[in-house]
Amino acid sequence: MNATRRLHDLGQSLWLDNITRGMLAGGTLRRYRDELSITGLTSNPTIFDHAIANSTSYDDAIRRKAREGKSGERLFIELALEDLTQAAELFRPVHQQTGGVDGWVSLEVSPLLAYDTASTLAEARALAERAARPNIFIKIPGTTEGVPAIEEAIAAGVPINVTLLFSPEQYRAAAEAYFRGIERRLAAGLDPRVRSVASLFVSRWDRAVAGRVPAPLQNRLGIAIARQTYRVYRELLASSRWSGLAARGALPQRLLWASTGTKDPKAPDVLYLEALAAPDTIITIPDATLLAFADHGKVGDVLPADGGDADAVVASFGQAGVDVAALGETLQRDGASAFVASWKDLMDRIATKAEALRRTA
């Protein structure tokens, strides 16, 4: 039994942090599902930008849609939905077998809306309606402005993947928005069974402090933050507030580990997968990290529900001059800005490719 299967059997869902039209057509994603226990996937503007830039798989569709007068966001959303609905069908058996717990794929609202509550909500609802699949999450950033949109979307019955979370505090705000959305549904006499996940980005913490802290602290901050967040996750699930909601049919929002590719070439390539094993969670994995873990990864101790030594580790970064709370806010802002830049690059790439294809038609 390979390490990916052992993680799956532990109760952790493994989702691919990638999608391309080529891996759908060539059977790679199906093989990942059947052989490496991949049970879902996520996407973002950077992933699609790379997919379109590095292959000709999208050329025919771009040419055809451009001829129909489509461009920009409209053209991209159609491309993304074609890929993601196909992936959703591939994972539909998993979704059905797990009663909706697993087998999800994710589509992100425009990152240009990260600080616009009303527009984020409107786009989330529109994308969910267009996707028309029971196992597609709409990704909303967990920014201050995104939190009200998360609550409203859950109250409206839209399955949400909360993205761009970097700290226990940001995670708690997203989780409480989910609680409020479910409470509103119950108060209105609506079905409380609306699925959601909350995605904590891990490795970016370590990249942010690389070279700024003593060697013994290198590549330890992201895992410590994840441990603190896991403690909050377990505390919320054990709370009387959640017990009351669960008794009325509500389903838990699952915690997801994102940004799990090792950035430091001197660190193990499976560092975060080995450190973040935990039941009732999800981990999203880049292709290279997935294959490395299947080859030589090990499943050891699971995350401690009480956070273990996380507080002491985080405190040691403070003693080394890192303002951890401020860095968490900076990472979220920078993450939102990076997605905006990727989105703009993606729109430019589609426009450039559409024009080039028009000229060669």
The residues annotated with a catalytic role in the active site are 139
- Helix ranges restricted to H, the chain: 3-10, 21-25, 28-36, 45-53, 59-67, 72-97, 117-131, 146-155, 168-187, 203-209, 221-237, 240-247, 271-275, 287-296, 310-319, 324-360
Distances (CA, A) of 299 to 194, 201, 202, 224, 303: 31, 21, 18, 18, 11
What CA–CA distance (Å, rounded) separates 306 from 310?
9
Q: What is the CA radius of gyration of the chain?
A: 20
Distances (CA, A) of 313 to 4, 112, 146, 167, 308: 28, 35, 30, 14, 10
Token pair in block for residue 164: 């761009």
Distances (CA, A) of 153 to 118, 123, 231: 11, 10, 26
What CA–CA distance (Å, rounded) separates 160 from 149?
10
Place of tokens 């292959």: 55
What CA–CA distance (Å, rounded) separates 255 from 278?
10
Token pair in block for residue 353: 């490719």
